[in-house]
């Protein structure tokens, strides 16, 4: 945690602004103020960054390298201020200088390095590793134009370049001295030298891979890891005047353009041959540069190449970086002179693989002719991997040629990257429990039965400090007031607290009930998503129907006894006054407080009094206002009565925040009414609980209203 006071920060900020822009702060634009603030924060972390790398090298700590085509970092300024522990000091200091922190933060461009969940997962992994003091670094491509910005013109999509670098990037540091050469095309000459077969790559097209390093700041722990992004440049930036002077204008610029295209955009169009070739170039480019850099750094600080797998772990995020496997083999075989057996052992022990999807188009395969022409030595290595691997299959599956053909790395005229990733790694994981089970039992069942010990599950998660503390300060304050602030640094404390309870409480907002009534939708959402604790499926659900401006509270199990019709009516009345004014967070907050109070009062009938719970309900989740069309956000899930019982969901981890799309499985319900005896001494908070039966056959109470 950075130790700095408000006055020191103001002085440092003023000095940084003058250094960068050569004028007084009051004369600067907001963009210039952002650049000064970002540069100052980077300066604050540089010494810690250097100390972190020095510590890793001196201690010999095992280092993790996370290879991904995407890193959806978002805006880093707010994250870094939070993780350094100086956000409040920064806000106060800037305010005294007449600057609003939030306004300055909004000027930061999202880095054009990803477009979805794969990239966001990679970014969260980097943040988490730094915060957990794991020596974990990222490796990817520094895209000049990122993905694209979408505009709708005359009802048609128009793509515009995402020029996120137009104002520069205050976070990155160019490391020209760490550049690597990546080789494309050419041919391979084999020869025997001192009785050993050697391979020499000749007549290749060289590409210079130049690294740009970005710090990844851990949360209040003096750890700063590195995201290294590679930019493609010509080996020589000298202009070919001889070609130009002869009138060969295109030849003079073609090499430069073809090289720079490698790191130009994320996911170039690949429906045609040239597009496929560019994608393959991209994948090998950053993998080769990254592996070369890792091995070079390892040898400098550790020495023995035979122990590489004990000190280095390389994780490939989806199939895009799969060429890390043959590239590591190439270096170990051709440059380090290891035997095939030793090189293969090291490679398998070093590489692990995350599969993100079961869609065939995402598993990637490349035409042999294209692959062989662009990466001749890499293709030779994959051929040998496949030959040895298929020998294993032939011995195990005698005569099962269809199975062997399906499982081979090379087949039907293609190099299959998913197959290579599984064979060449020691660990294969899905990104959700259901996804992993599908991989094991359907899409990759052949490989699972061959290598069952390789397959495991790692459910996708998020960096809660970014998506809870920064995104929803009101909810954060509610949690802090209720359970303390230990969860900020130790997020598992949220799960531990939840597990002390015995009744689920869920909030659902929906923009489309698909023709169902509020009652049916609420009941079935509760039932078919697996909510409810114990045999009676105890719990309650608040549905906010955004489309029709209605609400419904559904109860189940013990909750039916606690939340009578009168109590539900009272809760509905309390909530609607907030929802009418568009204050959805306030309405949800009132809902939480009301059910806490009623739980404390206990069951309002003599017949059902079983003692009062000692714990309150606490909700963990996103603000209700953060909902998009056609999606459902449900907020979790807590309970009472000091029980450890927690129900499970077959496709969602209910210990976590969930924001998901899914098909409805709802069908019609039928209703019956049952009277629960009223305790007349409980006045307005007592009464009966009307019940009905849902489509699943479960009994529910409930009530609602409109806003």
pLDDT (0 to 100) of residue 286: 98
Highest mean pLDDT among 57-61, 355-359, 461-465: 57-61
Residue 228 contacts residue 213 (beta carbons within 8 Å): yes
pLDDT, tens only, 47-85? 999 999 999 999 989 999 999 999 999 899 999 999 999
pLDDT (0 to 100) of residue 638: 31
Nearest alpha carbon to residue 530 among 608, 612, 433, 460: 433
The contacts of residue 189 (CB under 8 Å, 6+ apart) are 199, 200, 202
385-390: list long-range contacts, CB under 8 Å, 24+ apart: 385/325, 385/326, 385/329, 385/344, 385/409, 385/420, 385/423, 385/424, 386/410, 389/423
Task: Retrieve residue 478's tokens.
Answer: 């509610």
pLDDT at 96 over 50: yes
What burial class does residue 532 get, using C-beta atoms within 10 Å of its C-beta: 0-12 exposed, 13-18 middle, 19+ buried? buried
CA distances from 422 to 416, 429, 441, 670 (A): 11, 10, 15, 50
Task: Retrieve residue 676's tokens.
Answer: 């629960």
pLDDT bucket at 475, cuts 50 / 70 / 90: confident
pLDDT (0 to 100) of residue 605: 59
Residue 136 contacts residue 129 (beta carbons within 8 Å): yes
Q: How many CB atoms lie within 10 A of CB 182?
A: 24
Distance of alpha carbon 614 from alpha carbon 622, whole angstroms: 26
Residue 519 contacts residue 698 (beta carbons within 8 Å): no
Distance of alpha carbon 620 from alpha carbon 544, whole angstroms: 17
Residue 575 contacts residue 591 (beta carbons within 8 Å): yes
The 8-class DSSP code of residue 538 comes to B
Task: Retrieve residue 340's tokens.
Answer: 């095939």
568 phi and psi angles, rounded to 5 deg: -65, -40
pLDDT (0 to 100) of residue 633: 28
Residue 166 contacts residue 145 (beta carbons within 8 Å): no
Highest mean pLDDT among 160-169, 423-432, 456-465: 423-432
The contacts of residue 220 (CB under 8 Å, 6+ apart) are 1, 83, 84, 85, 489
Task: Retrieve residue 556's tokens.
Answer: 């189940």
The contacts of residue 702 (CB under 8 Å, 6+ apart) are 519, 522, 523, 552, 553, 554, 555, 568, 690, 692
pLDDT (0 to 100) of residue 135: 96
Residue 410 contacts residue 386 (beta carbons within 8 Å): yes
Distance of alpha carbon 430 from alpha carbon 413, whole angstroms: 28
- What's the pTM value of the predicted model, to 2 decimals? 0.78
pLDDT bucket at 496, cuts 50 / 70 / 90: low
Phi-psi region of 249 (alpha: psi -120 to 50; beta: other; left: phi over 0): alpha
* Coil, helix or strand at residue 487: helix
Residue 2 contacts residue 22 (beta carbons within 8 Å): no
pLDDT, tens only, 142-175? 999 877 777 788 888 887 778 888 889 999 999 9
pLDDT bucket at 679, cuts 50 / 70 / 90: very low
pLDDT at 548 over 50: yes
pLDDT (0 to 100) of residue 648: 26
* Coil, helix or strand at residue 195: coil
Q: DSSP for 280-293, please give it.
A: HHHHHHHHHHHHHH
Residue 35 contacts residue 168 (beta carbons within 8 Å): yes
pLDDT at 620 over 70: no
Nearest alpha carbon to residue 667 among 692, 693, 696: 696
pLDDT, tens only, 586-618? 888 888 888 878 887 888 854 343 334 434 343
Helices (H), 324-400: 324-330, 340-350, 360-363, 368-374, 376-396
Rounded to 5°, angle at Cα 673 from 667 and 677: 140
Task: Retrieve residue 462's tokens.
Answer: 């998020």
Task: Retrieve residue 490's tokens.
Answer: 């130790």
**3-state DSSP helix/strand/coil % of the chain, to nearest 5:** 45, 20, 35
Q: What is the mean pLDDT of the chain?
A: 84
Distance of alpha carbon 542 from alpha carbon 486, whole angstroms: 28
* Coil, helix or strand at residue 194: coil
CB hemisphere CA count around 338 (13 angstroms): 20
Which run of H or E residues covers position 541? strand 539-545
CA distances from 560 to 123, 347, 528 (A): 43, 58, 18
Q: What is the mean pLDDT of residues 373-384?
A: 98
pLDDT bucket at 241, cuts 50 / 70 / 90: low
CA distances from 40 to 18, 45, 73, 281 (A): 12, 9, 19, 37
pLDDT (0 to 100) of residue 92: 96
pLDDT (0 to 100) of residue 497: 56
pLDDT bucket at 686, cuts 50 / 70 / 90: low
pLDDT (0 to 100) of residue 323: 98
The contacts of residue 295 (CB under 8 Å, 6+ apart) are 305, 308, 328, 331, 336
The contacts of residue 535 (CB under 8 Å, 6+ apart) are none
Distance of alpha carbon 446 from alpha carbon 413, whole angstroms: 21
* Coil, helix or strand at residue 258: helix
The contacts of residue 415 (CB under 8 Å, 6+ apart) are 365, 366, 368, 371, 379, 382, 409
Distance of alpha carbon 308 from alpha carbon 290, whole angstroms: 15
- Picking from 30-39, 214-223, 575-584, 646-655, which range would have the lowest pLDDT averaged per residue? 646-655
Residue 462 contacts residue 124 (beta carbons within 8 Å): yes
pLDDT bucket at 3, cuts 50 / 70 / 90: confident
What burial class does residue 310 get, using C-beta atoms within 10 Å of its C-beta: 0-12 exposed, 13-18 middle, 19+ buried? middle
* Coil, helix or strand at residue 703: strand
pLDDT at 180 over 90: yes
CA distances from 654 to 92, 158, 537, 638, 646 (A): 38, 39, 14, 10, 9
Nearest alpha carbon to residue 262 among 114, 140, 363: 140
């Amino acid at each position: 945690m950075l130790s700095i006071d408000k006055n020191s920060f103001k002085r440092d900020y003023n000095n940084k602004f003058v250094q960068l822009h050569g004028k007084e702060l009051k004369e600067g634009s907001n963009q210039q103020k952002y650049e000064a603030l970002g540069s100052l924060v980077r300066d604050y972390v540089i010494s810690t960054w250097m100390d972190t790398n020095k510590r890793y090298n001196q201690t010999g700590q095992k280092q993790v390298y996370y290879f991904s085509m995407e890193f959806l970092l978002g805006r880093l300024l707010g994250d870094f201020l939070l993780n350094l522990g100086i956000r409040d000091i920064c806000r106060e200091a800037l305010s005294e200088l007449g600057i609003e922190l939030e306004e300055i933060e909004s000027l930061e461009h999202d880095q054009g390095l990803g477009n979805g969940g794969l990239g966001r997962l990679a970014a969260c992994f980097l943040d988490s590793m730094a915060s957990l003091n794991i020596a974990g670094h990222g490796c990817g491509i520094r895209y000049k134009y990122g993905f694209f910005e979408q505009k709708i013109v005359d009802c048609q999509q128009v793509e515009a370049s995402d020029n996120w670098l137009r104002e520069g990037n205050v976070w990155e540091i160019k490391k020209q001295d760490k550049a690597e050469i990546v080789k494309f095309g050419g041919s391979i000459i084999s020869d025997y030298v001192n009785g050993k077969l050697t391979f020499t790559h000749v007549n290749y097209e060289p590409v210079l891979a130049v690294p740009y390093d970005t710090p990844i700041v851990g949360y209040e722990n003096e750890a700063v890891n590195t995201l290294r992004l590679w930019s493609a440049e010509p080996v020589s930036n000298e202009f070919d005047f001889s070609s130009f002077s002869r009138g060969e204008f295109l030849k003079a610029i073609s090499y430069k353009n073809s090289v720079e295209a490698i790191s130009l955009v994320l996911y170039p169009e690949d429906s045609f041959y040239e597009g496929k070739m560019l994608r393959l170039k991209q994948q090998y480019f950053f993998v080769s540069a990254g592996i070369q850099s890792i091995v070079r750094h390892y040898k400098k600080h550790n020495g023995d190449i035979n122990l590489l797998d004990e000190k280095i772990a390389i994780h490939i995020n989806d199939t895009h970086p799969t060429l890390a496997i043959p590239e590591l083999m190439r270096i170990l075989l051709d440059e380090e002179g290891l035997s095939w057996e030793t090189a293969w052992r090291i490679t398998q022990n070093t590489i692990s693989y995350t599969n993100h999807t079961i869609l065939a188009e995402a598993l990637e395969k490349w035409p042999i002719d294209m692959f062989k022409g662009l990466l001749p030595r890499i293709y030779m290595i994959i051929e040998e991997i496949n030959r040895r691997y298929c020998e294993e299959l032939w011995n195990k599956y005698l005569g099962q040629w269809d199975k062997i053909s399906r499982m081979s790395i090379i087949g039907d005229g293609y190099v299959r990257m998913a197959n290579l990733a599984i064979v060449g790694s020691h660990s294969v994981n899905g990104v959700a429990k259901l996804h992993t089970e599908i991989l094991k039992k359907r899409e990759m069942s052949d490989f699972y039965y061959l290598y069952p010990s390789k397959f495991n599950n790692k459910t996708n998660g998020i960096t809660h400090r970014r998506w809870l503390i920064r995104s929803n300060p009101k909810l954060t304050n509610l949690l802090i007031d209720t359970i303390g602030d230990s969860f900020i640094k130790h997020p598992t404390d949220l799960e531990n607290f939840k597990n002390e309870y015995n009744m689920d409480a869920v909030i659902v907002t929906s923009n489309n009930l698909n023709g169902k009534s509020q009652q049916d939708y609420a009941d079935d959402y509760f039932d078919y998503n697996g909510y409810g604790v114990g045999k009676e499926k105890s719990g309650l659900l608040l549905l906010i129907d955004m489309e029709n401006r209605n609400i419904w509270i559904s109860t189940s199990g013990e909750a039916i006894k606690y939340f009578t019709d009168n109590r539900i009516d009272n809760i509905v009345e309390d909530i609607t006054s907030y929802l009418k004014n568009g204050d959805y967070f306030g309405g949800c907050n009132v809902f939480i407080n009301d059910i806490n109070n009623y739980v404390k009062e206990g069951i309002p009938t003599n017949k059902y009094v079983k003692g009062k719970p000692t714990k309150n309900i606490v909700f963990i989740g996103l603000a209700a206002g953060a909902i998009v069309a056609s999606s459902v956000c449900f907020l979790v899930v807590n309970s009472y009565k000091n029980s450890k019982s927690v129900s499970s969901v077959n496709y969602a981890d209910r210990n976590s925040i969930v924001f998901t799309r899914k098909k409805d499985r709802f069908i019609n319900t039928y209703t019956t009414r049952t009277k629960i005896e009223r305790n007349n001494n409980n006045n307005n908070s007592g009464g009966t609980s009307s019940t009905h039966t849902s489509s699943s056959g479960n009994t529910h109470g409930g009530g609602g209203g409109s806003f």
